[in-house]
Structure 1
């Protein structure tokens, strides 16, 4: 008996969730024991066996995305057992991450939220990468019902043509299809070329095809061509490759006829075409009918649903963070107290700070396990600073140590912010009331970019006031501080080139305008204004993830 899909009835997962959790716990314990004692290969065999059991259970309740992850985990466990994983430590880490994240994801589905397997893709690809396997695209987890009944809009001939006549007409129309396809490949900007493809596909369906699978292919492919012609779908290389495959299917249709298409339908090609229909913005009647026939709207979650689902597998669940954050804060408190004692001491021995490195290592590793990438990087940077001071490579000045303490306060605040946000989404029905971040890095990026934009605006205002004063050098006193804060944010985001450019602006203001109190030339002020405007444009482009950002910096230099 086929079990009802989980997004319709969540009781099926309720029946097996406890068993799944126990099985994954046993797999995790076996992995931990194997890492401690790699000579005992039976431990990894147990781990793989438990994962195999969990995979079968997930397939039974039709959670195919999670089942794919478990399958990849099992394959990685077997590869580790066969000594076929070059980076074994990475393999252990990714395997453990899967065992920690999946129960959280399943718990989210169990509470009635939509199953969104696409958010499992990063974990899935990390598991495959450890084995050197080809990575998957998000279309791999896109699963429409390819056997859905066709509507009246996809009708064709009432009865099949004789094979000889079918072959003759199909090959003639294929020539017209190839001519339009070639023109489209040569010039993607001309909308009439994909629309010609649509017209040829419609003629194939209405004057040649009668079988369901041939009509399905031609109807859906015509919808994609229409969306491209309308400008509602990009003429990407992937879309063009799909139409190359459609051309080959027309040839096969001419060779094998209706019976051959029905016995061996091009399911992967149809799935790929539907994937692009789902992502198009077309509102045409044909495209809307395709969407409704295959229920594509339910297969593509909203941004907020994706963000919520991502949080469920990021290791950010409330219970885990509540437990771990206490330990993190205790370690950070010890480090800050040690820095305070060091600053107050009459006789300072930098080597005394070496003990804090182990504490920061532990904090860094814990943050990494939780997926809190930006705070982890901040801790790593402060650890390096303390190590340099302890080993005499850097001066133990008060400013540097206060910067370290301030950075650690930022880490605490980041952790508190995550706990607060996640604590607000645990109740049923809260999804719309609370706007979750799409990802932790995205949230930090937005916050830093906002602060940077505020500073840029203030700096530009000060420059204008400096010009209008005229040349009152007190007007530029705050500009270096404002820009250095932006530079720090850029470095935190690994945007070193932009930070370096910002440093050049700071040096000009400090040396030319503050130290020497010079009156700049009109050309210098134009260059300063252009540089600030370019940095502002670069920040906007980075925030929106637009292309060509490096060119902005190149022009500014």
Structure 2
């Protein structure tokens, strides 16, 4: 972070700034209570203009822009004194005060942390938002380095529509708040292919931005989602306008936004490394630093539901361990402690609205409290207690699933006497085996290409794919199974049994299908469902190979 040289001036003026902010807040509150008090709003505007002058003198660019927008918003309030506008203005006063205090304490202006607040104020006033790169200086006119071959217009015409769909599936998943890593990888894969076919600077910079978002786990702000959506419109033009779209100059702001994201990243990824070197982006605060500083200024939130679910699960596991010991006759069991544990679980279930399950556990706790340590316990009563614990455990599993929508592999269980955790664990084992088979297939295909189409490297793939198809069938994932079977058919008939070597494009398309299936399974393994849009990508890929899933036969 670059330290400002006029921190002393800010410290000297801070008391006057705080007084002015306090006066503006009081004037705004007076106007909000009595909107006929136009003089109060005029005093507020005068205070904002004074703040603007101070911030400009201190060369605090973001604070100056914020104060300017506060003046504009206050004048808008004069024309239409609506509550949302007044509230936005009040929030801006508080935020500006926090920002100036942050600058004073940190010695760094870091204007980027104020952009989101400025945009909230602008949105309330109906004005266009600032780009994230508003305070970022770079010469976006520099050429691409190293240069690349001319665009493959024919290849673009054949593949741009399918690659745009791949990008759209990833973008839609991000906008819906689904597993971000998987969808970013899908978008990056599409953009890499577009960049190789189209060349030029805009796709290269988009690749660098996507690599930075993915590899550095950057925050996916509203501005960044908007940038990714704008690139979808660029891809749409590529699909429908072809060569004309390639020859049109992209908006400079679009390129600058991508460069800004690359500057916030660490340079992981080929395009990100090239871009940082070509544009001399140098040392800047990383996005993680930016988000941390923003959190210091505005605060953050945590999740209560996960804590509740974790505490419940731990309590149930302790009781299950106790009952296991009792069943083995290892030690005298303190059934009073078991009854108390059941009562605590019941109270927590009440808190989350599971009243019926809570009542059942309380009734069971009353029975258990009468059991004597070391005494004989009726077998039916003992097993009824175990069943109630299992039902409570399945309730918690359902609660945890509510944090991420259920996907196809996490099927509902109709038999309450079967632990969903154990079933999920078994299914995840199968998912892992399927992913291992796909990884082996991709390595074999890579060796096949590297060794000049030597089919020896493919000899194990029919058996590998048969295992993967069997696993997907067990998991009841029909669409994924059909795509995998189509890939198997293509490999057996065209690669192993064919008379001609495949094209690089065909191999990339095959890799698209396998990668899409792997992403789908990975999202299940990590319990971050991504929907079935990625399966559309896989089906399109095998269709482009001439093996549509409807006609993929053994």
Correspondences of 1:68-83 after superposition (within 5 Å): 68-83=65-80
Equivalenced residues, count: 380
Gaps of 5+ in 1: 1-6, 158-165, 206-214, 315-438, 492-498
Instruction: Decide whether the 8 Å contact of 1:479 with 1:506 is kept in 2.
Output: no
TM-score norm. by structure 2 comes to 0.52
Once the two structures are superposed, residues 331-372 of structure 1 have per-residue CA deviations (whole angstroms, 9 ceiling, x without a partner) of xxxxxxxxxxxxxxxxxxxxxxxxxxxxxxxxxxxxxxxxxx
| TM superposition shift of 1:511 | 1.0
1:10 to 4, 19, 32: 4
Map of 2:228 onto structure 1: 239
Once the two structures are superposed, residues 384-434 of structure 1 have per-residue CA deviations (whole angstroms, 9 ceiling, x without a partner) of xxxxxxxxxxxxxxxxxxxxxxxxxxxxxxxxxxxxxxxxxxxxxxxxxxx
Map of 2:157 onto structure 1: 175
Separation of aligned partners in 2, 1:228 and 1:176: 29
| TM superposition shift of 1:509 | 1.8
- 1:458 paired to 2:289: no
Map of 2:357 onto structure 1: 505
| TM superposition shift of 1:111 | 3.0
Change (3 A) 1:201 1:9: same
Correspondences of 1:220-299 after superposition (within 5 Å): 220-223=205-208, 239=228, 241-245=230-234, 248=237, 261=249, 266-274=251-259, 277=262, 283-291=268-276, 293=279, 295=281, 298=284
Separation of aligned partners in 2, 1:172 and 1:146: 34
TM-score norm. by structure 1 comes to 0.52
- 1:45 paired to 2:34: no
Correspondences of 1:57-68 after superposition (within 5 Å): 57-58=54-55, 63-68=60-65
- 1:101 paired to 2:83: no
Change (3 A) 1:249 1:184: closer
Instruction: Decide whether the 8 Å contact of 2:77 with 2:85 is kept in 1.
Output: yes
Q: Which has the higher contact order (CA 8 A, sep 6+)?
A: 2
Instruction: Decide whether the 8 Å contact of 2:73 with 2:89 is kept in 1.
Output: yes
Separation of aligned partners in 2, 1:553 and 1:114: 52
Map of 1:306 onto structure 2: 291
| TM superposition shift of 1:44 | 0.6
Secondary structure in 1 matching 2:137: coil
Change (3 A) 1:186 1:94: closer
Map of 2:104 onto structure 1: 110
Correspondences of 1:388-407 after superposition (within 5 Å): none
Change (3 A) 1:483 1:122: farther
| TM superposition shift of 1:514 | 1.5
Instruction: Decide whether the 8 Å contact of 1:27 with 1:46 is kept in 2.
Output: yes
1:476 to 338, 350, 364: 338
| TM superposition shift of 1:32 | 3.9
- 1:535 paired to 2:387: no
Instruction: Decide whether the 8 Å contact of 2:27 with 2:41 is kept in 1.
Output: yes
Cα RMSD between the aligned structures?
5.2
Gaps of 5+ in 2: 171-181, 328-332, 371-377, 417-554
Map of 1:217 onto structure 2: 202
Secondary structure in 1 matching 2:80: coil
Separation of aligned partners in 2, 1:291 and 1:136: 26
Change (3 A) 1:257 1:123: closer
Instruction: Decide whether the 8 Å contact of 1:119 with 1:309 is kept in 2.
Output: yes
Secondary structure in 2 matching 1:11: coil
